[in-house]
Structure 1
Amino acid sequence: MTQKTTTFLMFQNGEAEEAMTFYISLFEDSKVIDLTRIPAGEPGPEGKIRHATFTLAGQEYMCIDSDPVHSFTFTPSMSIYVTCDTEEEIDRLYAALAEGGGALMPLGDYGFSKRFGWVNDRFGVSWQLNYLG
């Protein structure tokens, strides 16, 4: 078996499916590969995601709904980095991801990039968006 790494997102408050569906709507070549729900009678909220695998722009991710509430959540020190092909793409993604979230670095020229932005989305996941031009 070939070793492989995959980003794994743990959502609290039952937001995994909503987040996954939102992310898939933003990127081409994205889809749900596998989804398992918590069945009735088992620990956790019935119908929430026990485990899901999905792709964003062909890159594989995993997510779950965590039943126990943890004292930690997502942090900007770990972010999803996206290289955009056009200024229109970076503008669209930044606007969609920032809605209900918050800007860490507004879109702009920071010297290392013609157009760069860093945002936390409404689920708390951090995204760095870059357009080199």
Structure 2
Amino acid sequence: MATAAPQKITTFLMFEGRAEEAITYYLSLFDDAEVIDITRYGPDGPGKEGTVRLATFSLAGQRLMCIDSYVTHDFGFTPAMSLYVQCENEAELDRLYGALAEQGSELMPLGSYGFSARFGWVNDRFGVSWQLNLPA
């Protein structure tokens, strides 16, 4: 039996101390979700001990990677790059939109915009942008 080829392109998210919190939150939102691998900084750094040096996790079969950067940056996440989720039904769309918008910000409220049956766009509490779509 042949094994599946590794995913060639992987979304990479850089946090500044909240990577594990974000992973845990995202895993709670999707049924098919798991941590694949996680390594943390030790007492010798260079990051704060226990923060995420590198993690790989999967949401609905899509692998993502993330780190806790120990360097403070003058930039963060931007809606110009977002995670696009094709929802299976209206209940899933409503649940994800509500959860991701909590402590976040709405960019496009749930509605019909002509290109889908229902669509919404939010930045979550970590600043990561999500487009949620219910296909026509």
Query: Which range, TM-score by smaller chain?
Result: over 0.9
* Structure 1 consecutive aligned stretches of length 4 or more whose deviation exceeds 2 Å: none
Q: Give the whole-Å Cα distance in 2 for the aligned partners of 1:117 and 1:28.
A: 20
Question: Which amino acid letter does the alignment assign opposite residue 21 of structure 1?
Answer: T
**RMSD value, Cα:** 1.3
Residue correspondences, number: 132
Matched, 1:4 2:13: no
Percent identity between the two aligned chains: 66
Matched, 1:19 2:22: yes
Call closer, same or farther: CA 1:53–1:26 in 2, change over 3 Å.
same
Shift in Å at residue 3 of structure 1?
7.3
If the length of structure 2 is used for normalisation, what is the TM-score? 0.94
Partner of residue 111, structure 2 = 108
Q: Secondary structure at the match of 1:46?
A: coil
If the length of structure 1 is used for normalisation, what is the TM-score? 0.96
Select between 3-12 and 97-106 the one with higher mean Cα deviation.
3-12
* Consecutive unaligned residues in structure 2, runs of 5 or more: none
Shift in Å at residue 38 of structure 1?
0.1
Question: Which amino acid letter does the alignment assign opposite residue 112 of structure 1?
Answer: F
Shift in Å at residue 41 of structure 1?
1.6
